[in-house]
């Protein structure tokens, strides 16, 4: 079971209310961090990783990692890798969904009681263009549009199946969709393309979640400003990670979409010393955390390139400045 204080903190922020402190949402993928809490074990398990989440006070882990199947050796393994691209465009079977959600629930239990593991599921666009290759995808949208749309439909249907199962089993109030539709200079595709090919499919796919008051968060890097209103219109409740390096100003977004759009992020942990990290964290809280609706976190997850000193400074600063009522 999740700690009741954690549940209240998450629920109040999702409803644009303040609680005891600003909730933290992040993903850890840094061996130095895990070693710090496990005393340099040779093999790090998920249970070991969870210790770091609990020690840092991370309320929400936004990324569900499926177990990787071991690769078969020799030519069989190579051939399976080459054909795996086609598997990405296969409709999920009931058996696959059952297995995936059993694994997800097992992981949720490991994160309890002090961290909530949210579901994260692939959308229907970035997986398509990554699998086909971006140039090939764009070319086929002109030469073989119907065939490509069929592939996108399969991915959208898979997202619907995951959303429906998550909703049916009542596994929490937060569901992340990972779909990179933007880059530093703006949208990867035109707004008109997204309004025709992507937004209607996402709206349908998330409908089971919306019926049950589950908050849908879009994870996409890049500058989303040109399409935020459209995202809200189809039922997207929040954005992650609010990419500041792409010109996404979290303070401006907070003022513009106050009590309308949940904000997740967005402290950059690269290129600064520990003192600079502390100042950036303080600034982020001051700009975005008032009146709830903000889950603070790193801009790109805690990956292996971030120093342990910066990570410790970040989470320590959240504890120092993130208590409600804010005093900064």
Residue whose token pair is 């949720």: 108
Confidence check: pLDDT of 199 > 70: yes
* Residue 14 token pair: 């999702």
Q: Is residue 183 part of a domain?
A: yes
30 φ/ψ angles, rounded to the nearest 5 degrees: -140, 110
Percentage above 70 pLDDT, the chain: 94
Alpha helix segments (H runs only) across 211-307: 228-234, 250-256, 274-288
pLDDT average, residue stretch 66-92: 62
Confidence check: pLDDT of 84 > 90: no
**Which of 8 and 89 is assigned the larger pLDDT?**
8
Residue whose token pair is 């009681």: 113
pLDDT average, residue stretch 153-179: 98
Digit-coded pLDDT (tens) for 278-321: 999 999 999 999 999 999 999 989 999 999 999 999 999 999 99
Confidence check: pLDDT of 26 > 60: yes
Q: Is residue 237 part of a domain?
A: yes
Q: Quick one: pLDDT band at residue 70, thresholds 50, 70, 90?
A: low
Give yes or no for a cis peptide into 241 (omega within 30° of 0): yes
CA–CA gap between residue 60 and residue 80 (Å, rounded)? 35
Q: Determine how β-strand 215-219 pairs with β-strand 238-240.
A: parallel
pLDDT average, residue stretch 194-215: 98
113 φ/ψ angles, rounded to the nearest 5 degrees: -95, -5
* Residue 156 token pair: 């959208």
Do residues 119 and 159 touch, judged by C-beta distance below 8 A? no
Number of helices (H), then strands (E), belonging to the chain: the values are: 15, 11
pLDDT average, residue stretch 179-197: 97
Confidence check: pLDDT of 8 > 70: yes
Q: What is the CATH number of the domain that holds 43?
A: 3.20.20.210
Digit-coded pLDDT (tens) for 127-160: 999 999 999 999 999 999 999 999 999 999 999 9
pLDDT, residue 87, reads 75
pLDDT, residue 42, reads 81
Confidence check: pLDDT of 97 > 60: yes
Tally of domains within the chain: 1
Q: Quick one: pLDDT band at residue 85, thresholds 50, 70, 90?
A: very low
pLDDT average, residue stretch 151-173: 98
Instruction: Tell me how far CA of residue 113 lies from CA of 50, 62, 104, 265, 286, in angstroms.
Output: 10, 16, 15, 23, 29
* Residue 95 token pair: 């058996």
pLDDT average, residue stretch 60-75: 71
pLDDT, residue 69, reads 56
Q: Is residue 90 part of a domain?
A: yes
For 265-268, which contacts have Cβ atoms below 8 Å and span 24 or more sequence positions? Answer: 265/240, 265/241, 265/295, 265/296, 265/297, 265/298, 265/299, 266/241, 266/242, 266/297, 266/299, 267/296, 267/297, 267/298, 267/299, 267/314, 268/244, 268/298, 268/299, 268/300
* Residue 102 token pair: 């059993």
Q: Is residue 327 part of a domain?
A: no
**DSSP one-letter code for 189:** S
Q: Quick one: pLDDT band at residue 14, thresholds 50, 70, 90?
A: very high
pLDDT, residue 82, reads 46
Do residues 213 and 165 touch, judged by C-beta distance below 8 A? no
Q: Is residue 326 part of a domain?
A: no
What angle, rounded to 10 degrees, do the helices at 46-56 and 31-38 form? 90
Confidence check: pLDDT of 83 > 60: no
Q: Is residue 289 part of a domain?
A: yes
CA–CA gap between residue 218 and residue 171 (Å, rounded)? 18
Q: Is residue 328 part of a domain?
A: no
Confidence check: pLDDT of 80 > 60: no
Give yes or no for a cis peptide into 240 (omega within 30° of 0): no
Mean pLDDT of the chain: 93
Q: Is residue 114 part of a domain?
A: yes
pLDDT, residue 81, reads 47
pLDDT, residue 68, reads 58
pLDDT average, residue stretch 212-229: 98
Structural domain span for residue 233: 4-321
């Amino acid at each position: 079971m999740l700690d009741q204080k954690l549940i209240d903190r998450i629920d109040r922020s999702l409803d644009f209310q303040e609680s005891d402190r600003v909730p933290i949402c992040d993903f850890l993928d840094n061996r130095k961090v895990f070693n710090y809490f496990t005393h340099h074990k040779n093999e790090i398990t998920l249970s070991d990783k969870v210790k770091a989440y609990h020690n840092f006070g991370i309320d929400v882990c936004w990324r569900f990692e499926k177990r990787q199947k071991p690769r078969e050796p020799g030519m069989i393994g190579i051939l399976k890798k080459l054909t795996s691209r086609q598997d990405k465009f296969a409709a999920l079977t009931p058996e696959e969904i059952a297995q995936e959600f059993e694994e997800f629930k097992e992981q949720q239990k490991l994160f309890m009681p002090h961290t909530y593991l949210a579901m994260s599921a692939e959308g229907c666009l970035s997986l398509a263009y990554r699998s086909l290759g971006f140039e090939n995808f764009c070319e086929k949208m002109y030469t073989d549009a119907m065939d490509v749309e069929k592939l996108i439909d399969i991915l959208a249907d898979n997202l619907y199946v995951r959303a429906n199962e998550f909703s049916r089993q009542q596994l929490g109030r937060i569901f992340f969709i990972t779909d990179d539709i933007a880059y530093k200079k703006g949208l990867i595709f035109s707004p008109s393309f997204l309004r025709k090919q992507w937004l209607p499919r996402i709206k349908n796919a998330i409908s089971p979640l919306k019926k049950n008051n589950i908050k849908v968060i879009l994870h996409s890097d890049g500058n989303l400003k040109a399409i935020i209103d459209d995202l809200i219109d189809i039922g997207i409740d929040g954005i992650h990670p609010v990419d500041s390096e792409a010109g996404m100003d979290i303070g401006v977004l907070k003022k513009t979409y106050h009590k309308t759009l949940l904000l997740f992020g967005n402290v950059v942990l690269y290129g600064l010393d520990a003192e600079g990290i502390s100042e950036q964290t303080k600034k982020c809280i001051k700009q975005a955390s008032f009146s709830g609706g903000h889950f603070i976190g790193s801009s790109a997850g805690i990956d292996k390139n971030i120093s342990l000193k910066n990570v410790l400074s970040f989470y320590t600063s959240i504890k120092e400045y993130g208590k409600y009522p804010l005093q900064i």
